[in-house]
A and B are shown apart, each in its own frame.
Chain A
C-alpha cells in the first residue's frame, strides 16, 4: 500500500534561518506531489505542485521554494525565514486524477 512520510513533525526556527521540510511517498511511482500551508484558523493554501522530477509549479509568490530531486521526494525550502512563514505545512500526493492523500503535517513556528 502507498504511504506518505513528512518530517519533522514540529519545528521552531529563528527569523532569518534556512528551512528544509521533506516529504516522501512509498508504494507508487510518478505521483503528483503538493505542498500546502494552513495558517491558524484558516483553510489550506496550495503553495507548490509537481507532476514529475524537476517539474515545479508555484501557485503564490512567496519566500519559499520547492524541489523534486527524486520521483517520490518533495522538498520545501527557504533561504531566510520570515515571521509570516509560520503555519502548518502539509504534503500531499495523488496518483493522477484521484483524490489527494495527505501527510501528517509539520507545525512550523518562527521566533
Chain B
C-alpha cells in the first residue's frame, strides 16, 4: 500500500519570502500522480498543483512549484513571494494511475503554514 509522509507539522514564513514544504511517499508503482492541496480556515480543499510521475519536468503554477525527485520519492512544494492568503494546511496526496481503483487519493497528515508580517 502507498503511504505519504509530511514530516513538518508546522512551518512559518514571512510575507514575501519563500518556503518549502516537504513530502515523501512510498510506492512500488512506476507511474502515478502527486498533488498538493490547500485547506484554509474555511476548511475547503483546494487543488494547488499536480505532478505526473512520468514527466521529468517539475510542475509550476504561478508562485507555486514543486521539486519532484522520483528516485528519492520526494515531492516538495515551494511557495515564492508568500502572501497572507497562503496561510493554510497543506496536504500532499498520492494517486495511482490504475483506473480500476477510481483514482483514490492517499493523503499525508498535513503541514500548517503560518505567514507573518
| Contacting pair A96 B45 (CB below 8 A) | no
Q: B residues within 8 Å of A by Cβ?
A: 33, 35, 42-47, 50, 91, 97, 99, 102-110
- A47-65: CB near B (< 8 Å → 1, else 0) gives 0011100000101000000
| Contacting pair A96 B108 (CB below 8 A) | no
> Which residues of chain A have C-beta atoms less than 8 A from B106's C-beta?
46
Complex-state Cα separation, A107 to B43, whole angstroms:
10
> Which residues of chain A have C-beta atoms less than 8 A from B99's C-beta?
96-97
| Contacting pair B97 A99 (CB below 8 A) | no
> Which residues of chain A have C-beta atoms less than 8 A from B46's C-beta?
102
By size class, the interface of chain A is 20 to 34
> Which residues of chain A have C-beta atoms less than 8 A from B35's C-beta?
99
**Known pairs A46-B104, A98-B103 / 7 extra A-B pairs, C-beta < 8 Å:** A42-B110, A43-B91, A43-B108, A94-B103, A96-B99, A99-B35, A105-B44
| Contacting pair A96 B103 (CB below 8 A) | yes
Complex-state Cα separation, A26 to B91, whole angstroms:
26
Assess A43 versus B50: contact at CB under 8 Å? Given A96-B99, A99-B35.
no
Complex-state Cα separation, A40 to B46, whole angstroms:
19
